[in-house]
């Protein structure tokens, strides 16, 4: 990976939740980069820390969660008076989460779409009011222009009759249409990064297909990077350029999408890929399931957190020492002792 097209660099990010029962290490050392105009897929089972990672970038981790260490470097393009574009580096972890600076980035340069659009829209405002609000906050002071831009954006996301739909309330729209409105709102300020947290999980397959195609088209048109969080490996294969696989707050594998699916390295990634039923594969065979279940977050196993369920566990080292993140291919890194024996 060259460094000049990097948009966000996450370095050894740790976000912990301090609870009475103990400390939950929701994200425990994540390192990856998001490149401009590309899609990073983040995949893992529930509780693996994929959503908290994205919340950390936007600095919206709900209390008592806290970023304890690490850096999130945002490469921001700033237009200087002369018209030249200068790259400015901001470490998002150092900003005040309620401060002016992050609020100018949040929603404008980095925006987010959620799994359930019904709960992320305000039910008492029309979708137009909600899109216009973002535009008035970040882009323009002219209400008429903001409304025109909102209509234009609704049109671009394929909303039928946008000049009428803009005055509808969220409950008047179907699930797919609501997700389109959500995307319109998120993209209205032309962000450089769109974080999509399971945006199609609540939708039907044919609607999901429409939304995935729409996001790809908008990315081609507008050039934003996408951080796509999902548990669905099919969607990852469809959307992502690079993929991060997470398990219990740890990044266990990072690779370009072809390497990940063709030659997965980490035993967890391999097991995950084998455990999904696939259309077109001979049916009525047994699925290879991963034994046991994800351990409880208060008692994460020592050493490699996956060793309790791993079929290729090395009994001498895996339960004792946490493996390093090692490079195993031109675009592939993994956190496993099978590939780091000498170290």
CA atoms within 13 Å, Cβ hemisphere of 140: 15
N- to C-terminal Cα distance for the chain? 24
Q: Quote the least distance from Cβ 158 to another protein, whole Å.
A: 10
Q: Quote the least distance from Cβ 252 to another protein, whole Å.
A: 13
The nearer residue to another protein, 196 or 257, going by C-beta atoms, is 257
Please pick, from the candidates 78, 89, 124, 205, the single residue that binds another protein as defined by CB under 8 A.
Answer: 205
Please pick, from the candidates 73, 90, 222, 237, the single residue that binds another protein as defined by CB under 8 A.
Answer: 237
Range 115-174, binding another protein (CB under 8 A): 174
What is the size of the binding site for another protein (CB under 8 A)?
A: 45
Which residues have a Cβ under 8 Å from the Cβ of 11 and sit 6 or more positions away? 31, 70, 71, 72, 73
Question: How far is 138 from 46, CA to CA, in rounded Å?
Answer: 34
Q: Are 181 and 154 in contact (CB under 8 A)?
A: yes
Please provide residue 77's backbone torsions phi and psi, each rounded to the nearest 5 degrees: -85, 120
Please pick, from the candidates 100, 279, 299, 342, the single residue that binds another protein as defined by CB under 8 A.
Answer: 279
Q: Are 231 and 200 in contact (CB under 8 A)?
A: no
Q: Quote the least distance from Cβ 206 to another protein, whole Å.
A: 5
Q: Quote the least distance from Cβ 269 to another protein, whole Å.
A: 12
Q: Are 254 and 313 in contact (CB under 8 A)?
A: no
Q: Quote the least distance from Cβ 192 to another protein, whole Å.
A: 24
The nearer residue to another protein, 11 or 270, going by C-beta atoms, is 270
Residue 220, interface with another protein (CB under 8 A)? no
Residue 330, interface with another protein (CB under 8 A)? no
The nearer residue to another protein, 168 or 231, going by C-beta atoms, is 231
Q: Quote the least distance from Cβ 190 to another protein, whole Å.
A: 25
Sheet arrangement for strand 85-91 = 22-35, 6-19, 65-79, 85-91
Please pick, from the candidates 91, 234, 263, 327, the single residue that binds another protein as defined by CB under 8 A.
Answer: 234
The nearer residue to another protein, 99 or 234, going by C-beta atoms, is 234
Please pick, from the candidates 18, 60, 85, 209, the single residue that binds another protein as defined by CB under 8 A.
Answer: 209
Please provide residue 67's backbone torsions phi and psi, each rounded to the nearest 5 degrees: -75, 115
DSSP-derived secondary structure letter, 243? E
Max intra-chain CA distance, the chain: 68
Please provide residue 5's backbone torsions phi and psi, each rounded to the nearest 5 degrees: -100, 15
Q: Are 181 and 173 in contact (CB under 8 A)?
A: yes
Q: Which two tokens stand for residue 194?
A: 């769109």
Please pick, from the candidates 231, 322, 329, 338, the single residue that binds another protein as defined by CB under 8 A.
Answer: 231
For residues 242 to 271, the per-residue mask of contacts with another protein, x marking binding by CB under 8 A and - elsewhere, is ---------------xx--x---------x
Residue 71, interface with another protein (CB under 8 A)? no
Range 281-310, binding another protein (CB under 8 A): 281, 283-284, 286-290, 293-294
- Render 69-111 in DSSP notation, one character per residue: EEEEEEEEEEE-TTS-EEEEEEEGGGS-TTSHHHHHHBTTTEE
Please pick, from the candidates 210, 301, 329, 340, the single residue that binds another protein as defined by CB under 8 A.
Answer: 210
Which residues bind to another protein, rule: CB under 8 A?
45-46, 174, 176-177, 204-210, 212-213, 231-238, 240, 257-258, 261, 271-273, 275-281, 283-284, 286-290, 293-294
């Amino acid at each position: 990976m060259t460094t000049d097209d990097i948009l966000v660099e996450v370095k050894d990010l740790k976000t912990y939740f301090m609870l009475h029962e103990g400390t939950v290490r929701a994200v425990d050392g994540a390192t990856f980069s998001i490149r401009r105009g590309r899609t990073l897929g983040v995949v893992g089972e529930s509780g693996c820390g994929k959503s908290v990672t994205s919340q950390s970038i936007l600095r919206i981790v709900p209390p008592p969660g806290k970023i304890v260490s690490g850096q999130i470097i945002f490469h921001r393009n700033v237009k200087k008076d002369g018209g030249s574009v200068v790259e400015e580096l901001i470490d998002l972890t150092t900003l005040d989460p309620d401060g002016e600076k992050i609020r100018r980035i949040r929603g404008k340069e980095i925006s987010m779409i959620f799994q359930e659009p019904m709960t992320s829209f305000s039910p008492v405002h029309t979708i137009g009011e909600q899109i216009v609000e973002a535009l008035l906050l970040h882009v323009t002071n002219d209400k008429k222009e903001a409304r025109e831009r909102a209509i234009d954006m609704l049109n671009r996301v394929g909303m039928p009759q946008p000049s009428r739909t803009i005055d509808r309330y969220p409950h008047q729209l179907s699930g797919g249409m609501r997700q389109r409105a959500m995307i319109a709102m998120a993209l209205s300020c032309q962000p450089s990064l769109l974080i999509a947290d399971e945006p199609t999980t609540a939708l039907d397959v044919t609607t999901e297909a429409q939304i995935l195609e729409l996001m790809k088209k908008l990315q081609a048109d507008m050039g934003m990077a996408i951080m796509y969080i999902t548990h669905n490996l099919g969607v990852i294969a469809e959307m992502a350029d690079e993929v991060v696989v997470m398990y219990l707050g740890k990044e266990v594998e990072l690779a370009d999408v072809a390497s990940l699916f063709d030659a997965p390295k980490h035993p967890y990634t391999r097991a995950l890929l084998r455990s999904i039923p696939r259309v077109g594969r001979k049916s009525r065979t047994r699925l290879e399931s991963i034994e046991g279940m994800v351990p409880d977050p208060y008692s994460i196993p020592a050493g490699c957190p996956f060793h309790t369920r791993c079929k290729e566990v090395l009994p001498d080292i895996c339960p004792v020492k946490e493996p390093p993140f090692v490079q195993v291919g031109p675009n592939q890194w993994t956190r496993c002792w099978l590939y780091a024996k000498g170290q």
